[in-house]
Amino acid sequence: MPFPDFSLRYRGGLSAACVLSAAVALSACGGSSSSNRSSVSYNATIERTTQGIPHITADDYRGLGYGHGYAIAEDNLCVLADAYVTFRGERSRYFGPDEPAAVMGTFGSPSNLEADFFFRFVVNDQAVEDFMAEQPREMRDLSDGFAVGYNRYLNEIQAGQHTGRHADCRDAEWLGEIDEKAVFRRLVALNLAASSANWVEEITAAMPPSAAPQRLRNPSLESDGGINLDPERFQLGRQFGIGSNTYAFGGEATQNGRSLNFGNPHWYLEGVDRFYQMHMTLPGKLDVAGVSIIGAPMVLLGFNNNVSWSHTVSTARRFTLYRLALKDGDPTTYIKDGAEQPLQEETITVQVLQEDGSLAPVSRTLYRSEYGPMINLSSLHPALAWDTNQAFTLRDVNLENTRSFKNFFAFGHAGSLDEFVASIKQYVGIPWVNTSAIGRDDERALYSDITAVPNVPDSMLAGCLVPTLGPVILQAVPGLPLLDGSRSECDWKTDSDSVAPGTFGPANLPVLLTTDYIANMNDSYWLSNPDQPLTGYAGIMGQEDYEQSLRTRMGHMMVEDRKVGTDGLGTAGASSETVREMVLNSRNLSAELLKDDVLSTVCGTASGNEETACDVLTVWDNTGNLDAAGVHIWSAFWLKIRNQDDLYATPFNPEDPVHTPNGLNTGNADVVAAVDAAFSEAVQEVVDSGVPLGATVADWQKYAKAGTDIPQYGGEGYEGYFTVLRNTYMHVVDFPEGEPVRAYTMLTHAVTTDPASPYYSEATEDYSEKKWLEFPFTEEQIRQQSISITELSQ
């Protein structure tokens, strides 16, 4: 049989060349043996620069994907290959049923077995095929090339090349090739990060009650202490801390009158949902840099020579719950508009590894309504169980959203801010983040939450919110409606400008274009600019007139100081230099607001360890910088006191949301007693930990990497740090007049997860030293930082 012509040339620090002739088997040097692509060619160049960042150049989208797939496998083969096992629903086959399916990530950490049933049921073949069918040819080519490039590197590893690399998986049974469908399966799964993926176990445990002679009594909400709605349970990834900071400065707010963009996602440091930094160039069509989430074939957040953008996790809800009224005697049939509607059932069989090494099938029958998967909410309260009266189902806007990655794809191609905004309104496809952006020669800054949101206007709630249960859930989880599924009038609405049925149109979604500035730190759209608040949107989008997080307030306060030059950074107004410095300042707002009052309260009679702690905190500069001492004492104290009722002397005032609440409420005896107790407990905890009371941040706060622990500054957002511990990627981008785009970046966890890579720690060490990378964008800049070149041809 004829073999495709493979060639591979390395220059610099990479391994020796591998050249295939027609007489050499495919497996010797990689390639796609899973399908016959003899009529299609794949060509790409990968040039790596400082920190190992790949710059991928090709003559078509297929080649661009090919280079990306090869590069990301070279950097993250084990993590990505392990994730493909997850998305195929085969973890139990290789790893057994009980271990967590992920260390961290957008679908939480369910067991392998529950993850298998979820992905086989929700991210099934039909969902993937429907999604693929709606994508443009360019995206299909990009994804096909990605699979071929990934497979090429995988085959090289399996042929014994790249000695020492990817030791965790290079000989694993589960390491296997992928195809275009696997790439899109990953995208469908990523779409669900703020919706169905939050409810893996609840969806896979949703089954009708066993046959019963009588109806089950519906428990009251007052039983068992009320409904259990932990706010963290409803966060993306089911945990606080996953979010972002972003600024876009318009011409009024900068020193040179030109716009500037700061992006700062707080994302996953481990696992397949990490960011991957890269630069993709298709001459004459695409030249974009930034980050993807591992496995997504295009840049999701970044910049080209004309626009720069970033994202933060939005407060909008991406799903709603529906209560179904069941037919008497049949818990798998519900009544809607008086007519019987049978649930769709699907029996799924998963192969499960046994202790003796054999495989055994485990089957489960799961159900869907017309809205989407059934969901078992009994863990929240018995009143939410699937019984003989009722059942609950979930409708997920992003299970229906095939536009999401077309929207991201369009961002990279935008030639101006106006084109960028037009693409947002054309697709309304962004799945769970809002957007900041700027454009070349454009003084405006953009904030947009024009995204895929269920069209549930507030006017609909009075008639469609499920009595008793609905208001309780809405009170505990603002914006999340429990709707009546027995009437079609409670289905999602459609606006005259809706891009897809059941979603809001752009005219009913928040957007702001201003020559001042915009900011978002994961509070709602309301205070994107405190002087230009956005109001009047549906509750499902987020709250208005509510107390902002300390991180949000810190973000706005820093801009206030910068605009008038009172932060010690020189001339008033934002610039690339001043923004790069201020966003890493590690200021702690809770300490700035309350430390002096707290010390006045607790230190007057302190002795022993508490007196030492008072001395340390008195001279602490209220930052989390590496040389700051006493930070851990305040952190332990704040964790205990932050939710104390009436803590502040001045309560929240929606007329001054950036500066209120403030001051310690020393006139309240309960608050004073709580502060005293919390301080004593915190000091004792620190002493018991073995970390000295006078230790600096560098002594105890580390980024643990194989073979090294790297000091990390900053802290938790709930303490009021803008500079948070989960910083993952950062960029500061502007467009100097008559010059190419100027970008400074940081990828705190590095491009690779492989400890054997030469790039494993460099970026993390640079971040620890607050060392920004001046990103090489032009050919000349890339040449100056070039480390190696890999030319691929197939």
Whether residue 391 is contained in a domain is answered as no
Whether residue 473 is contained in a domain is answered as no
Paired tokens of 464: 């469609």
Whether residue 724 is contained in a domain is answered as no
Cα separation of 756 and 210, whole Å? Answer: 53
Please indicate, yes or no, whether residues 300 and 420 belong to a single structural domain of this protein.
yes
Whether residue 515 is contained in a domain is answered as yes
- 153 HSE (CA, 13 A, CB side): 25
Which among 11-15, 208-212, 304-308 has the top mean pLDDT? 304-308
* CB 739 within 8 Å of CB 719: no
Please name the amino acid found at residue 19. V
Within a 10 A sphere around the Cβ of 692, how many other Cβ atoms?
15
* CB 351 within 8 Å of CB 113: no
* CB 272 within 8 Å of CB 82: yes
pLDDT in tens, 264-274: 999 999 999 99
Q: Give the pLDDT score at 319.
A: 97
pLDDT value at 99 more than 50: yes
For residue 389, the SS3 value is: coil
Paired tokens of 50: 């400082």
Please indicate, yes or no, whether residues 607 and 685 belong to a single structural domain of this protein.
yes
Please indicate, yes or no, whether residues 522 and 604 belong to a single structural domain of this protein.
no
Q: Give the pLDDT score at 103.
A: 84
Q: How far is CA 499 from CA 397, 452, 494, in A?
A: 12, 9, 9
Please indicate, yes or no, whether residues 440 and 527 belong to a single structural domain of this protein.
yes
Helix (H) or strand (E) holding 708: strand 708-711
Q: In which domain, by residue range, is 709 found?
A: 589-719
Q: Give the pLDDT score at 379.
A: 83
Helix (H) or strand (E) holding 147: helix 137-158
Weakest-pLDDT range from 20-34, 317-331, 509-523, 533-547: 20-34
* CB 640 within 8 Å of CB 682: yes
Q: How far is CA 53 from CA 68, 194, 289, 782, 789, in A?
A: 11, 29, 10, 10, 11
- With a pLDDT cut of 90, the percent of the chain lying above it is 88
Strand partners, 245: 264
Provide the mean pLDDT of the chain. 92
Which long-range contacts (C-beta less than 8 Å, at least 24 apart) are formed by 328-332? Answer: 329/388, 331/208, 331/209, 331/386, 331/387, 331/388, 331/391, 332/208, 332/367
Name the band, by pLDDT with cuts 50, 70 and 90, for residue 102.
Answer: very high
- Tell me which residue has tokens 């622990």: 709
- 354 HSE (CA, 13 A, CB side): 7
pLDDT in tens, 35-77: 445 589 999 999 999 999 999 999 999 999 999 999 999 999 9
pLDDT in tens, 166-187: 999 999 999 999 999 999 999 9
pLDDT in tens, 275-285: 999 999 999 99
pLDDT value at 21 more than 60: no
Please indicate, yes or no, whether residues 409 and 450 belong to a single structural domain of this protein.
yes
Weakest-pLDDT range from 116-125, 232-241, 646-655, 736-745: 232-241
Please name the residues in contact with 478: beta carbons below 8 A apart, sequence gap of 6 or more. Answer: 539, 542, 543
pLDDT value at 250 more than 50: yes
User: Which residues does the annotation mark as catalytic?
Assistant: 244
- 417 HSE (CA, 13 A, CB side): 26
Whether residue 30 is contained in a domain is answered as no
pLDDT value at 28 more than 50: no
Q: Give the pLDDT score at 529.
A: 98
Helix (H) or strand (E) holding 129: helix 125-133
Q: How far is CA 506 from CA 316, 456, 494, in A?
A: 14, 14, 12
Weakest-pLDDT range from 217-231, 478-492, 672-686: 217-231
> What CATH number is associated with residue 492?
3.60.20.10
Cα separation of 116 and 246, whole Å? Answer: 35
Pick 725 or 685 by higher pLDDT: 685
* CB 769 within 8 Å of CB 627: no
Please name the amino acid found at residue 541. M
Please indicate, yes or no, whether residues 423 and 290 belong to a single structural domain of this protein.
yes
Name the band, by pLDDT with cuts 50, 70 and 90, for residue 579.
Answer: very high
Per DSSP, 545 falls in state S
Q: Give the pLDDT score at 704.
A: 87
Q: How far is CA 776 from CA 64, 268, 730, 784, in A?
A: 19, 25, 15, 8
Last residue of one domain, picked from the residues 719, 746, 775: 719
pTM of the model: 0.93
Whether residue 47 is contained in a domain is answered as no
Please indicate, yes or no, whether residues 544 and 626 belong to a single structural domain of this protein.
no
Phi first, then psi, for residue 552 (nearest 5°) are: -60, -45
Q: Give the pLDDT score at 380.
A: 82
Strand partners, 339: 336
> What CATH number is associated with residue 667?
1.10.1400.10
What does the longest C-alpha to C-alpha distance in the chain come to?
88
Surface-to-core class of residue 206, CB atoms within 10 Å of its CB (0-12 exposed, 13-18 middle, 19+ buried)? buried
Per DSSP, 686 falls in state H
Cα separation of 124 and 368, whole Å? Answer: 13
Q: Give the pLDDT score at 383.
A: 86
- Tell me which residue has tokens 């046994």: 354
Q: Give the pLDDT score at 243.
A: 82
Cα separation of 776 and 767, whole Å? Answer: 18
Concatenated DSSP letters for 320-363? EEEEEEEETTEEEEEEETTEEEEPEEEEEEEEEE-TTS-EEEEE
Please name the residues in contact with 210: beta carbons below 8 A apart, sequence gap of 6 or more. Answer: none
* CB 43 within 8 Å of CB 792: yes
Please indicate, yes or no, whether residues 289 and 429 belong to a single structural domain of this protein.
yes
pLDDT in tens, 384-433: 999 999 999 999 999 999 999 999 999 999 999 999 999 999 999 999 99
Please indicate, yes or no, whether residues 603 and 554 belong to a single structural domain of this protein.
no
Please indicate, yes or no, whether residues 309 and 438 belong to a single structural domain of this protein.
yes
Please name the residues in contact with 470: beta carbons below 8 A apart, sequence gap of 6 or more. Answer: 461, 481, 482, 483
Within a 10 A sphere around the Cβ of 593, how many other Cβ atoms?
21
Please indicate, yes or no, whether residues 627 and 498 belong to a single structural domain of this protein.
no
Name the band, by pLDDT with cuts 50, 70 and 90, for residue 228.
Answer: low
Please indicate, yes or no, whether residues 619 and 672 belong to a single structural domain of this protein.
yes
Candidates 458, 523, 454, 456; CA nearest to 314 is 523
Helix (H) or strand (E) holding 436: strand 433-439
Paired tokens of 529: 């600019």
Paired tokens of 234: 């409803």
Whether residue 647 is contained in a domain is answered as yes
Name the band, by pLDDT with cuts 50, 70 and 90, for residue 554.
Answer: very high
Q: Give the pLDDT score at 241.
A: 62
pLDDT in tens, 452-467: 999 999 999 999 999 9
Q: What is the number of structural domains in the chain?
A: 2
Helix (H) or strand (E) holding 731: strand 729-734
Last residue of one domain, picked from the residues 699, 719, 739: 719
Distance of CA 740 to the CA centre of its chain: 29
Whether residue 184 is contained in a domain is answered as no
Cα separation of 157 and 171, whole Å? Answer: 9
pLDDT in tens, 608-652: 999 999 999 999 999 999 999 999 999 999 999 999 999 999 999
- Tell me which residue has tokens 């987020």: 542
pLDDT value at 24 more than 70: no
Name the band, by pLDDT with cuts 50, 70 and 90, for residue 226.
Answer: low
Average pLDDT of the segment spanning 84-96: 98
pLDDT value at 113 more than 50: yes
- Tell me which residue has tokens 């040339």: 9
Q: Give the pLDDT score at 211.
A: 37
